Chains A and B, each alone.
Chain A
Amino acid sequence: MELMHHRDCRNFAAVDVAKGICHRTKNMVPADGDQCEECVATPKCKGCRNFTADKVRVELGVCEASTATPKFFAYPDMVALTCEMFREQ
């Protein structure tokens, strides 16, 4: 999984949409700032085997684990920490 920013990291506690506190350093870091070497990936739908990205609307996709008909949508950036169906790619 491609890891780019603080907000994709498990050590990042989001204070708000733009920044958060890093649990390692206790510093305030920008959400979109580049990851550091301590970075641990936060599971998100985009990293789940159940997720199929939409070919046209790339910001959306389908959760193949959904039991609804049609299958319920999901979106790549959704945090999957609490999703019991998450299967790491």
Chain B
Amino acid sequence: MPKKLKEVLADAGVSMENEAGGHAPKSLTDREVKMAPHPRVEKLRDVFMQTLSSANNEFPYWYTREYFQHDNEIPVVRRAMALKAAFSHSTPVIFPGELLVMHKAPFFRGSFPMPWLSEGFYMAKEDELYQDALKRGATSVDEHSKFGQGGGNVVKSFGKVVSIAGKFGMRQEEVPGLLEVARMWVGKSVDDLGHKYEQMVPGYETKEAIMRNVVCMFDSGFTLPQGREVINYFYPLSLGFDGIINLAKEMKAKVAGRADGDGLTGMNRLYNYEAVILATEGLQAWVRNYAKEARRLESIEKDAVQKAEYKGIAERLEWLEHNSPRTFIEAFQMIETMHLAVLNEDAISGMSPGRIAQILFPWFDQDIKAGRITEDEVIELLELDRVVKTSIDCFASMGVVGGVLSGNTFNTVSCGGLQKNGNHACNRLEYLLLEAGMRNVMPQSTLAVLYDEKLPEDYLLLATECIKTGGGYPAFMNNQVGMEFLKHHYGPEGMDIEDARAWAIGGCLETSGCTWKPITLNGTTYWIPGGAGQPTSVGVHFISMPKVLELTLWDGVDQRTGERVFKAHGKKLATFDELWAQYKLYWQEAVHVLDLTNNIQHDVWRKNNMAVINSYMKPDCLDKGHLINELGYRYNATYNVESAGTITTINSMAALKKIVYDDKKVSLDEYRVALKDNFGFKTAKEVNSFSLADQEKREDGPGKWDKLHFMALQAPKYGNDDAYVDNILLDWENFFCKDCYNYESLNAKPLYACQISVSTHGAMGSATIATADGRLAGTTFADASMSAFPGTDRNGPYALLNSASIWDHSMSQNSQLNIKIHPTAIQGEEGARKLLDLTRAYMRKGGFHVQYNIVDSKVLKDAQKNPQNYRDLMVRVAGFTQYWVEIGKPVQDELIARTEYEGV
């Protein structure tokens, strides 16, 4: 039996146990807080638990049929016509017990492909198109991505159901139609057209090599062109659909034939308003079809209560087809409708509803005062919203949905924060929102508390109680740090302190620019926040920092594939400074070429596939008459550079500095041989475990590298308040965050840093050989950007916080710190307070984000062995919560391995 790394180290007297600060009880420990949802919610949740991710061809069929009827139409109008046809023909489906209705596709958990973005990946593998995608590296990451094998994932075909990308099920009867539609987009999709033009970028071969070798995770232009932003519900809530159409008609009359001083895009306003009208008419038809279905169900229903509920649904939808909402439940239905509408308009992951307790407050406030609704009924609706949001799937490739997103769609709700006037924003509905999150523990919407010193203590303690449910939410984001980032980055576009206060999280933890709009309801005016910025899912996504280090050490050649990625630098790397400097040069080369090619893809998107619905909802599109493609949004500098594997790289740099350059224990050449030889271990794939501790020594490994591997593992590690390594992080952050401003997006705005891992640390780790910190080939990187590598933070959580806050987090859109804590460590009121103290300490040090996984690692191990017993087990991964069984094995292994704090 080959020895596992943890046994090898135990022989040497070094523990690789993941327990820190004490020992967990021997028995399995469940979460402390467990509450039940309302009975109807429980029933619908049970339906969800049995539901498979399902896709069909209806929306793509009608979209394509209409689109190709209008060959010479103005692109934005043509797009809106296609959207109108697709929405108008979407089959409504309503399930018993639902109060908030409408679905993306006619299933409980439905979605559909958008071949106008990319048609290649779901074609048959032997298809020429697929082969072409392979060559371009567009699918390289798929091989390194794994979906969980359970839950709603359709991992393989069965009966008359065909599995697509290992995740979505499609009826066999639909597949020929889908392929027919897909073929019509060959050469015309954003993917294909973008590819045609991106090849004209000098150095394009480097981009291809980067994608093939998984130095970069994916092209955002044709996979997820929008998302990681905050939606804005203001116009539908205040004007209703008729109001929006009337406004667009009035504006059309004002702008028709006029350039108004803008010779380039002034005339486009007419077509844009026309598109707004067409798309809105499509939404009205969609709502109307649902209303008709509700009426039909009312007519056949025998149960009086259910019959009355269908009637209520029909009445609400009939009203909302034309008008703005009058009541809390109407307002809630309107935001659900608009949310799904936007998610159907484009492939989007991370469309965040924003601060819904503040957005819905006007209706809540007046309904409660008038006795039209009770708080209990409000909580029930908030619980139902969690079913709606968790049922949202995004149809994209295996690499993106599996490798990056772990199947999550990141409809994050932000809470807390400040009002426009600077007072805290914790209204009564904010408390109920947390309570609903505790009662109906489902992955979405995950909650993000915008932590500010002004937030009431009882609210923060309630948030801490909510964490104890083990749902992984809320996370805490630093309100002041977020505002500082926004003021700095969007200052040139006019961001002031008031708009900065409106911010919310888009996606899992992307600081997003928002604004305030006044809603007047029955004579009372309320200021509600909402998104005002372009997507932040766009830009250079994600660059693997450890892979760039590998390429630096090997003169530009990938050691897994043997392929040259960068031109040889030819340097000896004789000093640490020379190594660091060359690393940064390769980093810049990667960002440069990816920025240019990415700009082209997004430019193709905005010319032919621009957002209409999402766009007109955001200020100031309807005012200006310009949509997203003509910079109608208030904030347009949203393209970013995303990094992955920060801490694995920082630890590796520290190990090289210590062992090679400072202590001169081994030469760099010898170190390279050891890395290439994986320190004498098998690969993670051979072992089928992706956590470091479980790696096995090769039988032929005579222990040649044991000493060096031991030194590498013992070298200074981030997360222990050790300046030797933390200063390398400081240096990196000061370089990275500022360097992003050297690149320009297609909107002629500078880029900025975004530091989250989502699930890329699994897929990218899988494609990377051993690293100098002692991590072995194919194992995951450290998660997030501020989390310690599993088991290496030995000095307690406060030391970790000190390491993480060594740099100025307001230079970056975000940073991410995940901490795993055993449930017994935060038990009772005292435990809750300790957790709040820990959070507060980090926020006061200037940390941007911290989130907690309150779970017993032994439970996770048991769940890996017996997944059938854990269908509803949820874990916080990185910025999001997901069902354990829907997460791929690499990330599961990494979650088990994370340091588990037994005390705070």
Q: Which A residues have a C-beta under 8 Å from some C-beta of B?
A: 11, 13-19, 21, 23-24, 26, 28, 31-32, 57, 59-60, 66-68, 72-73, 75-79, 81-83
A74 to B289, CA, bound (A): 21
The answer to whether A73 and B177 touch across the interface, beta carbons within 8 angstroms, is: yes
B570: A residues at CB distance < 8 A: none
Q: Which B residues have a C-beta under 8 Å from some C-beta of A?
A: 47, 50-58, 61, 65, 68-69, 88-96, 106-110, 152, 154, 158-161, 169-171, 173-174, 176-177, 180, 289, 297, 300-301
Tell whether A82 pairs with B91 under 8 Å between CB atoms, given A17-B161, A21-B96.
Answer: yes
A17 to B65, CA, bound (A): 24
Tell whether A15 pairs with B51 under 8 Å between CB atoms, given A60-B176, A73-B180, A78-B177.
Answer: yes
The answer to whether B169 and A13 touch across the interface, beta carbons within 8 angstroms, is: no
The answer to whether A82 and B90 touch across the interface, beta carbons within 8 angstroms, is: yes
B96: A residues at CB distance < 8 A: 21, 23, 26
The answer to whether A72 and B65 touch across the interface, beta carbons within 8 angstroms, is: yes
B158: A residues at CB distance < 8 A: 18
Q: Can you list 12 A-B contacts with CB-CB less than 8 angstroms, sorted by A residue number?
A: A16-B169, A17-B54, A18-B169, A19-B50, A23-B297, A31-B171, A66-B65, A75-B180, A76-B173, A78-B57, A78-B58, A81-B289
The answer to whether B177 and A17 touch across the interface, beta carbons within 8 angstroms, is: no
Q: Chain B residue with minimal CB distance to A59?
A: B176
- Distance from B362 Cβ to chain A, minimum over Cβ atoms (Å): 33
B47: A residues at CB distance < 8 A: 15, 21, 28
- Distance from B168 Cβ to chain A, minimum over Cβ atoms (Å): 9
B152: A residues at CB distance < 8 A: 16
- Residue among A19, A23, A67 making CB contact with B300, cutoff 8 Å: A23
Tell whether A13 pairs with B94 under 8 Å between CB atoms, given A77-B174, A78-B61.
Answer: yes
Q: Chain B residue with minimal CB distance to A38?
A: B300
Q: How many A-B residue pairs have CB under 8 A?
A: 99
The answer to whether A18 and B289 touch across the interface, beta carbons within 8 angstroms, is: no
A72: B residues at CB distance < 8 A: 65, 68
A75: B residues at CB distance < 8 A: 57, 173-174, 176-177, 180
B58: A residues at CB distance < 8 A: 78-79
- Distance from B289 Cβ to chain A, minimum over Cβ atoms (Å): 6
A23: B residues at CB distance < 8 A: 96, 297, 300-301
- Residue among A60, A79, A81 making CB contact with B180, cutoff 8 Å: A60
- Distance from A53 Cβ to chain B, minimum over Cβ atoms (Å): 12
The 3 closest A-B pairs by CB, nearest first: A77-B173, A75-B177, A16-B52
A60: B residues at CB distance < 8 A: 176-177, 180
The answer to whether A59 and B173 touch across the interface, beta carbons within 8 angstroms, is: yes
A28 to B50, CA, bound (A): 10
B61: A residues at CB distance < 8 A: 78
A69 to B158, CA, bound (A): 37
- Residue among B52, B56, B88, B174 making CB contact with A18, cutoff 8 Å: B52
Which one of A16, A19, A73, A78 has the greatest number of beta carbons of chain B within 10 Å?
A16
The answer to whether B107 and A68 touch across the interface, beta carbons within 8 angstroms, is: no
Q: Chain B residue with minimal CB distance to A83?
A: B89
- Distance from B39 Cβ to chain A, minimum over Cβ atoms (Å): 14
The answer to whether B95 and A15 touch across the interface, beta carbons within 8 angstroms, is: yes
A83 to B285, CA, bound (A): 12
A15 to B816, CA, bound (A): 36
14 additional A-B pairs beyond A16-B108, A19-B50, A68-B69, beta carbons within 8 Å, are A15-B50, A15-B51, A16-B52, A17-B107, A21-B95, A23-B300, A24-B300, A31-B171, A57-B176, A59-B177, A60-B180, A72-B68, A77-B171, A81-B91
B180: A residues at CB distance < 8 A: 60, 73, 75
- Distance from A17 Cβ to chain B, minimum over Cβ atoms (Å): 4
- Distance from B54 Cβ to chain A, minimum over Cβ atoms (Å): 4
- Distance from A51 Cβ to chain B, minimum over Cβ atoms (Å): 13
A79 to B171, CA, bound (A): 13
- Residue among B170, B176, B300, B301 making CB contact with A17, cutoff 8 Å: B170
B171: A residues at CB distance < 8 A: 17, 31, 77
- Distance from A35 Cβ to chain B, minimum over Cβ atoms (Å): 16
The answer to whether B161 and A18 touch across the interface, beta carbons within 8 angstroms, is: yes
The answer to whether A68 and B170 touch across the interface, beta carbons within 8 angstroms, is: no
Q: Chain B residue with minimal CB distance to A67?
A: B69
A6 to B174, CA, bound (A): 17
A15 to B92, CA, bound (A): 12
- Distance from B300 Cβ to chain A, minimum over Cβ atoms (Å): 7
A8 to B737, CA, bound (A): 57
Tell whether A17 pairs with B173 under 8 Å between CB atoms, given A68-B65, A79-B91.
Answer: no
A11: B residues at CB distance < 8 A: 300
Q: Chain B residue with minimal CB distance to A57?
A: B176
Q: Chain A residue with minimal CB distance to B181?
A: A73
A54 to B696, CA, bound (A): 58
Tell whether A14 pairs with B169 under 8 Å between CB atoms, given A23-B300, A78-B58.
Answer: no
A72 to B89, CA, bound (A): 16
Q: Chain B residue with minimal CB distance to A19?
A: B50
The answer to whether B173 and A15 touch across the interface, beta carbons within 8 angstroms, is: no
A31: B residues at CB distance < 8 A: 160, 171
The answer to whether B159 and A15 touch across the interface, beta carbons within 8 angstroms, is: no
Tell whether A13 pairs with B93 under 8 Å between CB atoms, given A18-B52, A79-B106.
Answer: yes
A82: B residues at CB distance < 8 A: 88-91, 289
A66: B residues at CB distance < 8 A: 65
The answer to whether B109 and A16 touch across the interface, beta carbons within 8 angstroms, is: yes
- Residue among B94, B108, B170 making CB contact with A15, cutoff 8 Å: B108
Tell whether A14 pairs with B107 under 8 Å between CB atoms, given A68-B68, A78-B61.
Answer: yes
